[in-house]
Amino acid sequence: MPLGFMDSMLRIDLTKHTINTEELSREVLKKWLGGTGLGVKYMFDEVDPLTAWNDPENRVVMATGPLAGTSIKGSGNYCVVSKGPMTGGLATTQANGYFGAFLKFCGYQGLVLQGQSPEWVYIYIDEDRVEIKSAGHLVGLDTVQTQEALHQEYALKPTQLSVCCIGPAGENMVRFACLAGDYGHVAAHNGVGAVLGAKKVKAIAVKRGKKRVTVHDQGALRELAIQMNEAARSTPPGGDCFRWGTNAGHPVLHKIGGLPVKNLTTSIFPECVDYDGKVLREKFEYKKKPCWGCNFSHCGSLKVKSGPYQGFETDEPEYEAMVATGPLIGITDPVLSLVLADRIDRLGIDCNETGWLVAWVMECFEKGYITANDLDGLEMTWGNFDHTKSLLENVALRKGFGSLLAEGVMRAAKKIGGSALECAVFTEKGNSPRGHDHRVIWYEYLDTCVSSTGTIETTGGGINPKQHDLEPVSDPFSWEQIAGQNAALSGRRVFEDSLGICRISAAEDINLTVQALQAATGDEFTRESAMQTGKRIVNLMRVYNVKAGITAENDKPSPRYASAPVDGPGAGRPVGVVFEQMKERYYELMGWDKKTGMPLPETLKALGLSDII
């Protein structure tokens, strides 16, 4: 067995109702690692890029990496890779919790789902005991109810059985349905929950096994785990996140104009102080609920102390979920945001796409582009909590106008057309931004538009360029500098997403991460070879998506997304004016054709991809 890895992948054919294991070679593991890399390799080899996302021939690859289940803090991470409904190209999305570690403790690096079940099923994994079981009793349950039902069925605690599942939205193949597990951990992007719904897979339950991950140098890995964790804690914004979670970002982003407010019609949200993580944990009753092997106070539950919702308890929403249910849609009470965020997770829909969708509907309602008659009687005024909650149910169940909205912002806006289309926020591939106003965060703006994953690919959370011997960007509104730095750093995040660890609690310093990979596997890795691995994965994704019909014309923002902020620190800076120049420069620096975005033969050859030229 290769050190750091488990040498088996589970392959489950839902059409034939068969379960097999297949061996992973050391060469494949060293070249693609795990997580995103391994999943993309499977997709490239097995799924024709022109295959529809809901075709039985599509795959769902759930894989973890060589550092999962080790002494690294937060090493329960896993990645889902498939062909996504939002973009029609690759979906790669990650989640933390226990699932990745438990898979390895059962002896598997990951699993591949293919085919389509004739009836609803769930997968149960307990080391060598792997079963496809009827899920008839789970259909219609939300994601929390589904997890609770399976924990009761097997008489196991959440720390003994990791359950990842879809909610009603996945069952109804809402294009932005997600996969939720471990009570609060969501693989959200590009509709992977809808793909599971098409395959009629309600859940995957993995019991904590007794197998252990064998590593090359356990002592060195333990020491590096401490150093990696300390680097994550001591480097901004990691310190705030260590203490208060990701909601510490609200006032920080508001200060620079990066908080998205009312569908980007303004950048002003004075109530941002009420959404600060420190304030939230003082306002609510907080209980720490860490991921596998993690010491951060990043994940936990919140309980309402007083008012109409006294006693209401839910997993603490991440920053993006609180943005989607707060400033983006005009709600200023964090209690109401908390309740809506909980409903979004239970229904099993991506909070980012949901936030932009509801915000767009509200602006269209305000301006008369969509009426209450269109919305099945709902009055979608800014901040309308009750009717927003009803709208979410309609979307998840594809009820009435909700069926159109279940297609996501881009498709719904293009269907209605006219002025409604002009105020919708999306990229022409079909994905939505994360919970930021990217019009003042140009590095993430470019990344969102050109990414092959269905979400950001290069920049997530910000990277210290000095770790790569680069000087920080001196002007955040210089398209030349942004294009250059994004191209130089491309590959790092994809490399990290292939390791099976959490960026927040561990992967702050690329040099320490590379040393940990060496200690785990015994293989020679350098920062340069790690970045080469990441760029190899990025380019393979790019080739796949181009073959799927995603061209340079799809790598661009909608009109509202390309507009200039009307107020706040970024007022009057129209990123859309320079976007095409920035994009072409990025293509050129990536070794892609400047006009088409297709990787050039010499680029592929340099990355060890000569066989696909």
Q: What is the pLDDT of residue 296?
A: 79
Nearest one of 189, 163, 572 to 408, comparing CA atoms: 189
CA separation for the pair 543, 599 (Å, rounded) = 7
pLDDT band at 351 (very low <50, low <70, confident <90, very high): very high
As a whole number of angstroms, the distance between CA 288 and CA 302 comes to 9
Provide mean pLDDT across the span 430-445.
Answer: 96
pLDDT tens-digit map of 50-60: 999 999 999 99
Token match 């060598």: residue? 128
pLDDT at 210 over 90: yes
pLDDT at 235: 75
- Taking a C-beta distance cutoff of 8 angstroms, is the pair 351, 343 a contact? no
Give the tens place of pLDDT for each residue, 368-403: 999 999 999 999 999 999 999 999 999 999 999 999
Task: Report yes or no: 97 and 292 within 8 Å, Cβ to Cβ.
Answer: yes
- Angle at alpha carbon of residue 132, lines to 348 and 162, rounded to 5°: 50
Q: In the Cβ-directed half-sphere of 492, how many Cα atoms lie within 13 Å?
A: 27
**Cα 428 to Cα 556: distance, rounded to the nearest angstrom:** 6
Judged against a pLDDT cut of 90, whether residue 531 lies above it is answered with yes
Judged against a pLDDT cut of 80, whether residue 539 lies above it is answered with yes
Q: What is the pLDDT of residues 449-477, one digit of tens each?
A: 999 999 999 998 788 999 999 999 999 99
Residue 1 has pLDDT above 90, yes or no: no
CB 491 within 8 A of CB 533: yes
Contacts 24+ apart (CB under 8 A), 479-483: 479/442, 479/578, 479/579, 479/581, 479/582, 479/585, 480/582, 480/585, 482/442, 482/443, 482/446, 482/582, 483/446, 483/582, 483/583, 483/585, 483/586, 483/589
Strands, sheet with 78-83, edge to edge from the N-terminal-most edge strand: 18-23, 8-13, 110-114, 60-63, 78-83, 90-95
Task: Round to whole Å and give the CA distance between 468 and 526.
Answer: 12
Pick from 506, 507, 464, 454: nearest CA to 489:
464
Q: State the pLDDT confidence band at 22, using cuts at 50, 70 and 90.
A: very high
- pLDDT confidence of residue 44: 98
Q: Residue 349 above 90 pLDDT?
A: yes
Q: What are 110-169's pLDDT values in tens digits?
A: 999 999 999 999 999 999 999 999 999 999 999 999 999 999 999 999 999 999 999 999
pLDDT at 3: 83
Task: Please check the confidence at residue 107 and state whether its pLDDT lies above 80.
Answer: yes
Confidence of residue 433 (pLDDT cuts 50, 70, 90): very high
Residue 173 · residue 197 · CB < 8 Å:
yes
Q: Which of 93-97, 234-238, 501-505 has the highest mean pLDDT?
A: 93-97
pLDDT at 591 over 90: yes
Average confidence score pLDDT of the chain: 95
Q: From 430, 424, 370, select the one nearest 400 (Cα to Cα).
A: 370
Q: Taking Cα atoms as reference points, which of 408, 413, 410, 470 lies closest to residue 443?
A: 470
Residue 230 identity: E
For 353, the token pair is 């796409």
Identify the pLDDT of residue 237.
63
Q: What is the model's pLDDT at position 460?
A: 80
With a cut of 80, say whether residue 2 has pLDDT above it.
no
Q: What pairing do the DSSP bridges indicate for beta strands 201-207 and 121-126?
A: parallel
For 427-434, what is the mean pLDDT? 96
pLDDT at 4: 83
**Measured distance CA(398)–CA(394) in Å, rounded:** 6
The pLDDT of residue 242 is: 79
Q: What digits encode the pLDDT tens for the residues 234-285?
A: 876 666 777 888 999 999 999 999 999 999 999 999 999 999 999 999 999 9
Does residue 452 sit in helix, strand or coil? coil
The pTM for the full model equals: 0.97
Helices (H) and strands (E) in the chain, counts: 24, 15
Mean pLDDT, residues 196-223 taken together: 96
Q: What's the rounded mean pLDDT across residues 470-493?
A: 96
